[in-house]
Amino acid sequence: MAKSLLIVESPTKVNTLKKIVGKDFIIKASVGHLKDLPKKKLGVDVDNNFAPEYITIRGKGKILQELKTAAKKVDKIFLAPDPDREGEAIAYHIGNEVARFTKGKIYRVLFNEITKKAVLEAINNPTELNTNRVNAQQARRILDRLVGYKISPILWKKVHRGLSAGRVQSVALRIVCEREREILDFKPREYWSITLELEGSQKPQFQAKLFKIDGNKAEVANKSEADEILENLQGANPLLESIVKKERKRNPSAPFITSTLQQEASRKLNFSPKKTMMLAQRLYEGIALGKKGTVGLITYMRTDSVKLSDQALDEVRTFIPEKYGKEYLPAKPNFYKSKKSAQEAHEAIRPTDVQLEPNAIKEHLEKDSFRLYQLIWSRFVSCQMVPAVLDTTQFDITTGKYLFRSNGSILKFAGFMKVYVESNDDEQAEGAKPSAKGDDRLLPPLEKGETLKLQEILPEQHFTQPPARFSEAMLVKELEDKGVGRPSTYAAIISVIKDRDYIQNIERRLQPVELGFMINDLLVENFPDIISTEFTAKMEEQLDDIEGGRLEWTEALNTFYTPFKADLEKAEEKMKDFKAQVEETDAVCEKCEKPMIIKWGRFGKFMACSGYPECKNTKDLGDKGDSEDGGKSDEVEGNCDLCESALIMKRGRFGKFIACSNYPDCKFTKPIGLGIACPEEACEGEIAPRRSKKGRTFYGCTKYPDCKFTSWDKPVAEACPECKNPFMVEKWKKNEDPSILCPNCGFTKTNAAA
């Protein structure tokens, strides 16, 4: 008879653990939480110190019974859910349920990685349940329940049933909406750059940009100022006044924590935070590696600490000189500083065995799992390598009152860059190279005092760009910087506001829809103190204080609930009632001849027949919800491919599209084209934006599935001047003008008028 019961969260860990602990253990999985607050009611007694009502989650009764039965057969029970607040709460509820079915001792075990050494060490050194951590999770759960179950019904009553608010996700929505308003309010400002194409006594030619005028920073505001400079430069003999050469070091990045992993996986691999965490969970729980058996490949992936264990440091410091050479190993380990709020009991995300190189186990991993493991492995190894060394050169070139500057650099010693280079939000995903910057070019070996030949003057008009919309990676960073949420919640926060259709993901950037703006405005107006980054960050600090034993959980909830209750009472009375608002129009329903009215729906304003529910005729109002044409749907050229009826333009959750006017009898739809003919030979379709199953925008032919043309970049109706390709594509970078390039030959030009 087995003497011990080991209970984990995920069933995928079971096979990995069986090979480690052997036959003396029964291993069972709870499959996440077993107990939670009821779904159909609040489940919190606010008048009795916020006492929670926990019930067995629907569908989990059988699992709970299996755990109770197993508990009767053993002498010891080891509770091994994940090493975080949620895991502690799961362990607590399981412990309470099985305690009366065993005479043995119940222990809590924590392991940061599923390896033989870590698991056996945890079992041999068990701990007790951390009640402070359980209380912190319970306080967070009750806070979220109070906000969600108290505010959402008001939104149902005032706007539309099915809408929701959340303590953290509503703050994330506010951040996205405020960024969008900054963009809408942005006023572009014109400016010009002046670049010289120069040649010295040695090749190659190089460029220098106008840097100063009369010793002051060069600011060229318009064409007339640029023309004046061009006139002054005619016949100029630029002088290479100074050369500054320096050796510069570039240090490696810290090992991954949850937020940085999500950000980098988004930039380099185009993974959403949700997908990144799903893949990381698989790598953590164990992958079958042939004869090696099932192996947990990475440490726990929900962490905000950059700490590394002594064992991990010893192993990687042995590996680096063997693999890359002694010159790549620093004299002492590199240490990195975690944020003040980080849980230092956890480690950074790293491979459990540095000897398991990605390419050596590639055949055992799915493509995306391999790519994520490679990212984690490379970042970890590089973080313990020496800095890269670059030789930088700066040319200062004068002609009259104008100073031009050119920067260049060469990589003298790769250091950590031999293994890994961190991306930034300006770079494209899917294997793109780092963006070329002015100081990445190699300058010719010239002498100070040389007179240079002016080959060409290149004036260029630009316009300042608004702040960039958030990508999912950028939003994770913003949430982290503002203290909103914790590593375990970033992915879920973004998923919720996307799933609620408050925001949409267009070309990998988050944009609020009309409904998102409206919900945000209502919440900020009626709950300004709660729907704020400052309040949410303060609550996260209080949860940390509860976990640290410095604050009673009921005290934190009381501090929150008193002003929240007052806000709720005001909102019930004063929140704008969109359901009651009906705008009359002069339009008449063509189906029953009753007046048409404007109402609010799931995706914003729309026009509907006042004879509803007898008549269900509706019409789209366009982007702004304004009925400038009396409510008539926009007819478009052509006829329905299925029934030959007229086509009209409609609006859905992902924007405008073309549909048959005979809906619902005919449900034909097609996307709106860009006015660019499909480049495929003999195809009569045109290019139109489409959405992948994962919500990413791409461009394809309207004749799909007969034509399979696709492009991730937005096509532009302009032939390439170099190779005559029939179209170019548009590329965007943060804080830069858009560029137009040829997908065939790579020819690039700046879209200065954008």
Q: Which residues pair with 512 in a beta bridge?
A: 503
Cα separation, 132 vs 549, whole angstroms? 6
* CA neighbor of 527 nearest in space, from 182, 173, 183, 181: 173
Cα separation, 160 vs 703, whole angstroms? 37
Cα separation, 64 vs 35, whole angstroms? 10
Tokens describing residue 91: 């362990």
SS (H, E, C) 592-640: CCCEEEEEEECCEEEEEECCCCCCCCEECCCCCCCCCCCCCCCEEEEEC
Any residues with CB less than 8 A from the CB of 54 and at least 6 apart, and which? 35, 36, 37, 43, 93
Told to judge if 54 belongs to the known catalytic residues of this protein, a careful annotator would answer: no
Cα separation, 82 vs 643, whole angstroms? 57
Tokens describing residue 589: 């329903």
CB 16 within 8 A of CB 286: yes
* CA neighbor of 206 nearest in space, from 451, 408, 409, 411: 408
Cα separation, 374 vs 525, whole angstroms? 46
Q: What b/e readout covers 116-138, taking b as 16+ CB neighbours within 10 angstroms?
A: eebbeebbeebeebbebbbbbbb
Q: What b/e readout covers 378-393, taking b as 16+ CB neighbours within 10 angstroms?
A: bbbbbbbbbbbebebb
- Give me the catalytic one of 300, 420, 490, 561: 300
CB 77 within 8 A of CB 105: yes
* CA neighbor of 709 nearest in space, from 730, 670, 736, 682: 682
Residues with a catalytic annotation lie at 300
